Amino acid sequence: MAALPPYTSTAQRTWHYTFRIICGLIFFFLIFPIIVIVPLSFNSLPFFTFTPEMLSFDPAGYSLKNYADFFTNPDWNNALKNSVTIAPVATLLATSIGTLAAIGLSQSHVPFRSAIMAILISPMIVPLIISAAGMYFFYSRIGLQGTYLGVVLAHAALGTPFVIITVTATLVGFDKSLVRAAANMGADPVTTFFKVQLPLIVPGVISGALFAFITSFDEVVVVLFLGSAGQKTLPWQMFTGLREQISPTILAVATILVAISILLLTTLELLRRRSERLRGIRST
């Protein structure tokens, strides 16, 4: 694909470039909406499109006032505070019990393995609106609706399937003889776990944790039903903002969130490389 061999016909050549142009357009479609909000978030006027000043690169067309609004407006501040108090706790909960369960599931003899797996993965499969409806009805009954704990538990439940999947994936490549070797040398199971098993599955655990984090951090449907004002998160505030008064501050928030996703994506990529190196898989 890289370079065309000399014997290609004109038709093949044309197709080759046409195909690349098509792919370029699709990539453009994928990335353009995300990129375009970045400059728009610096608009000095409350519009959602490029003003003539912006297009002529007049500094007066740009300003940081949307960002200033985000950091000073109490609504956004509260939302940010709620997001950063809910997501880490939900992540911690999901990651700890999720990792244990993934290790359990990777043992060779697990009764009812596929049934258990189906139950554990279900929060990822069931449409969010249904999870939200069910949790709303049930948590109302037991007094968790509109509480911090309720939202954390719900978010943790939604995040665990990702932890299971990523940790199981690292365990699949895990060489069991290492555990046996450790046991042979006299290490007890706990030591074996912390000294041998854990370091090797750490990349999987971390990437599972990142997934769980982003699940909670981006989640809006469940929190919309389950939460009350005290738990209003960033996505919730964005949702209300979009449905009601589209304030350009949303674009500043969106840009910040894009920066966070880039950070997460980079971390994941580094982890993946490390994991492959540790397990001796060479990238092909």
* Residue 231 near residue 80, CB atoms below 8 Å: no
Q: Considering the rule CB under 8 A, would residue 270 count as an interface residue with other proteins?
A: no
4 contacts other proteins (rule: CB under 8 A):
no
Does residue 15 bind other proteins (CB under 8 A)?
Answer: yes
> How many residues contact other proteins, by CB under 8 A?
116
Among 79, 157, 167, 206, contact with other proteins (rule: CB under 8 A): 157
Binding of residue 37 to other proteins (CB under 8 A): yes
d(CA 42, CA 173): 47
Largest Cα separation within the chain, whole Å, is 74
100-129 binders of other proteins (CB under 8 A):
100-101, 103-105, 107-111, 114, 116-123, 125-129
User: What are the structure tokens assigned to 222, written together?
Assistant: 């469940």
Would you state the structure tokens that stand for residue 244, as one six-digit string? 């009601």
67 is an interface residue for other proteins by CB under 8 A: no
Separation CA 216–CA 236 (nearest Å): 12
Residue 31 CA to residue 51 CA, distance in Å, equals 22
Instruction: Tell me how far, at minimum, the Cβ of 59 lies from other proteins, in Å.
Output: 21
Closest CA to 211 of 115, 134, 102: 102
Instruction: List Cα–Cα distances, 168 to 75, 147, 172, 199, 254, in angstroms.
Output: 40, 32, 6, 15, 33
d(CA 196, CA 193): 6
Q: Output the smallest distance, CB 133 to other proteins, in A.
A: 5
Answer for which of 13, 14, 17, 19 binds other proteins (CB under 8 A) is: 19
Interaction between residue 230 and other proteins (CB under 8 A): yes
Q: Residues 60, 143, 176, 274: which binds other proteins (CB under 8 A)?
A: 143
Distances (CA, A) of 149 to 78, 87, 111, 176, 216: 17, 12, 32, 38, 13
Decide if residue 92 touches other proteins (CB under 8 A): yes
Give the nearer residue to other proteins in terms of CB position, either 39 or 278. Answer: 39
Contact segment (CB under 8 A) with other proteins among 56-64, 65-73, 83-91, 180-188 equals: 83-91
Any contact of residue 179 with other proteins (CB under 8 A)?
no
**Stretch of 62-70, 133-141, 175-183, 274-282 contacting other proteins, by CB under 8 A:** 133-141
Closer residue to other proteins in complex, CB, 146/173: 146
The whole-angstrom separation of Cα 132 and Cα 137 is 9
Q: What is the nearest approach in angstroms of other proteins to the Cβ of residue 257? A: 5
Residue 151 touching other proteins (CB under 8 A): no
Q: Which is nearer to other proteins, 59 or 141 (CB)?
A: 141
Closest CA relative to residue 193, chosen from 179, 207, 204, 175: 179
Q: Is residue 126 classed as helix, strand or coil in its secondary structure?
A: coil
Q: Interface with other proteins by CB under 8 A: which range of 58-66, 176-184, 238-246, 274-282?
A: 238-246
